[in-house]
Structure 1
Amino acid sequence: MLTGTQVLVLGGDARQLEVIRKLSELDASVMLSGFDGLLTPLEGAIHVELRDDVLERIDVLILPVVGTDDDGEVTAVFSDRALKLLDEHVSKLQKHCKVYTGMAKPYLRHLCENHGIRLIELLDRDDVAIYNSIPTAEGAVMMAIQNTDITIHGSVCIVLGLGRTGYTLARTLQGLGAKVKMGVRREEHYARAFEMGFKPFYIKDLMHESGNIDLLFNTIPTMIVTAQIIAKMPARAVIIDLASKPGGTDFRFAEKRGIKALLAPGLPGIVAPKTAGRILADCLSRLISDDIRQRGDGQ
């Protein structure tokens, strides 16, 4: 239980609703800022302004999956008002307060570092990333179906990157009957892809592998699907880039070449916000409980 723990949820989308419900069920004192447009009130949570007296007493600050932009603006889909996290806000936090987000841009990292506040990026965790790979893979398949006139079964697909998302996506495509080619950089990933029944190749050979494909899925957040690669792809091919913005594809050249290329970061929150929210909620509740226990042991 989280009885007595003061939590402020600052902005977010539908995923945060699941987080709020979970923490309220565990008896945390949950305060909300940036949710004034909610049509249905959330039981056990109260709405507050981002004031000093609120910030000075919280134990946990929860931000959206992308914590802030480069100017401190916080996404708040349930509010029409602009919401910003500023230096003056973080300076009011107690030193034991922890800030949780999915991924942090340099702005947020610098704020927390400057004031000695610990920042936890949930998407860096293997458990969260692996759970999130499930709705990501399903969303990628949905996009492929919507943007092609062929079945996944029998299609020739390239998946770039045998990381947590690439692994789940390649296995999902394989289960639907696709012929999956896996682009990797490391020898152990080549061996694992071979063991799983994919056709592995090294990414340095991507140009030679992209001449006769239907779908290319990229999970690597660096420019990897270059103009030279796209020039070799058949006109029918579709690129679905799952890497974080700006992705790893030359979208300008793809458009010039007439190849459909889609940037699709953050699919869990789009295609399955309830599931994605529960993943975050379960992880957050465990981390906060562990922190409370450790602080109690240290007293």
Structure 2
Amino acid sequence: MLTGLQIAIIGGDARQLEVIRKLADLDAKISLIGFEQLDFAYSGVVKEKFKDVNFAEMDCVILPITGTNSEGKVELIFSNEEVILTEDVLSETPDYFTIYSGISNSYLDTLAKKMNKRLVKLFERDDVAIYNSIPTVEGTIMMAIQHTEFTIHGSTVMVLGLGRVGMSLARVFDHLGANVKVGARKSEHLARITEMGLTPFHLDQIDQEVKDIDICINTIPHLIVNASVIQKMPTHTLILDIASKPGGTDFRYAEKRGIKALLAPSLPGIVAPKSAGKILGNVLAQLIEEDVLKRKE
């Protein structure tokens, strides 16, 4: 139980609704910031303006999956309010105050370190990333079907990256009957791709490997599908970039060449917000109880 804890939840998408329900059920007191356009009535949950929140009384804050931008601004979906996480805000908080975010950036990392606050990046946890790969894969399949004129079965699908999401994608598209090739850099990943019965290639050879593909799925948050790579793709190729913004694709050149390229980060929040929210809610409940509650006591 989270009885006695005060939690601030800032903005986010529909996944946050399940997080709110989970934490409220555990008897936490929750201040919602950036949700005024959303009808949500729940015991122990109040809507507040960011400027009115007393952060001295807060035990932790839960940011949207995307965290902040490079200036500390938090993107809000259900509000027009401006929310910027600053040193002044964190200076009011107790020593054990913890920041929870899906991902981070240099601004948020630096801010937390300077203010000596614990920063937990949820998507760097294996359990969250693996559970989250389930709705991500389903969403990717949905987009592949919607934006192609051929079946996945028998098509040639390239997956870039064999991380926790990349592995799930490669396995499922293989089970759907696609000819799957996977690009990676680490020798152990190339070995794993071979063990899975798929076609491995080193990312240094991507230019040669794209010449016969029908679908390219990128999970790497760096520019990997550049103009040189796109120039060698068949014109019917569909690029699905599911890496975090801004993705790893040269979208301008893809459009110039007539290749459909779609950036689709945060797929779980789009295709299965309820399931994705339950994953985050369960993990956050455990973390807050283990970390914040014990440190507060």
Please tell me the TM-score bracket, short chain as reference: over 0.9
Partners of 2:238 and 2:123 in 1: how far apart?
A: 27
Note closer, same or farther for the CA distance 1:123–1:207 as it changes in structure 2 (3 Å cut).
same
Q: Which residue of 1 aligns with 2:64?
A: 64
Query: Percent identity over the alignment?
Result: 52
1:52–1:92 contact (8 Å) kept in structure 2: no
Give the C-alpha shift of residue 138 in structure 1. 1.1
After superposition, the C-alpha distances for 1:149-173 in whole angstroms (9 at most, x for unaligned) are: 0111111101111111100011111
Give the C-alpha shift of residue 24 in structure 1. 0.7
Q: Secondary structure at the match of 2:61?
A: strand
Give the C-alpha shift of residue 49 in structure 1. 3.1
Q: Which residue of 1 aligns with 2:54?
A: 54
Partners of 1:53 and 1:264 in 2: how far apart?
A: 33
Map of 1:97-136 to 2, 5 A cutoff? 97-136=97-136
CA RMSD of aligned residues (A): 1.6
Amino acid at match of 1:175: H
Give the C-alpha shift of residue 238 in structure 1. 0.8
After superposition, the C-alpha distances for 1:79-98 in whole angstroms (9 at most, x for unaligned) are: 23222223221111111111
Give the TM-score taking structure 1 as reference length.
Answer: 0.94
Note closer, same or farther for the CA distance 1:293–1:54 as it changes in structure 2 (3 Å cut).
closer
After superposition, the C-alpha distances for 1:203-248 in whole angstroms (9 at most, x for unaligned) are: 1111221111110111111221122221111111111111122221
Q: Secondary structure at the match of 2:182?
A: strand
Map of 1:42-191 to 2, 5 A cutoff? 42-51=42-51, 54-191=54-191
Note closer, same or farther for the CA distance 1:53–1:74 as it changes in structure 2 (3 Å cut).
closer
Q: Secondary structure at the match of 2:57?
A: coil
Partners of 1:109 and 1:6 in 2: how far apart?
A: 23
Partners of 2:252 and 2:47 in 1: how far apart?
A: 44
Map of 1:149-298 to 2, 5 A cutoff? 149-292=149-292, 294-295=294-295
Amino acid at match of 2:205: D
Structure 2: any 5+ residue segments left out of the alignment?
A: none
Amino acid at match of 2:67: G
After superposition, the C-alpha distances for 1:37-66 in whole angstroms (9 at most, x for unaligned) are: 112323331123335762001111111111
After superposition, the C-alpha distances for 1:108-132 in whole angstroms (9 at most, x for unaligned) are: 2222222211111111111111111
Give the TM-score taking structure 2 as reference length.
Answer: 0.95
Amino acid at match of 1:77: I
Partners of 1:293 and 1:12 in 2: how far apart?
A: 24
Q: Which residue of 1 aligns with 2:31?
A: 31
Partners of 1:13 and 1:119 in 2: how far apart?
A: 20
Q: Secondary structure at the match of 1:210?
A: helix
Give the C-alpha shift of residue 7 in structure 1. 0.8
Partners of 2:176 and 2:160 in 1: how far apart?
A: 18
1:32–1:47 contact (8 Å) kept in structure 2: yes
Structure 1: any 5+ residue segments left out of the alignment?
A: none
The count of corresponding residues between Structure 1 and Structure 2 is 297
Give the C-alpha shift of residue 293 in structure 1. 5.8
219-228 or 54-63, larger mean C-alpha shift = 219-228
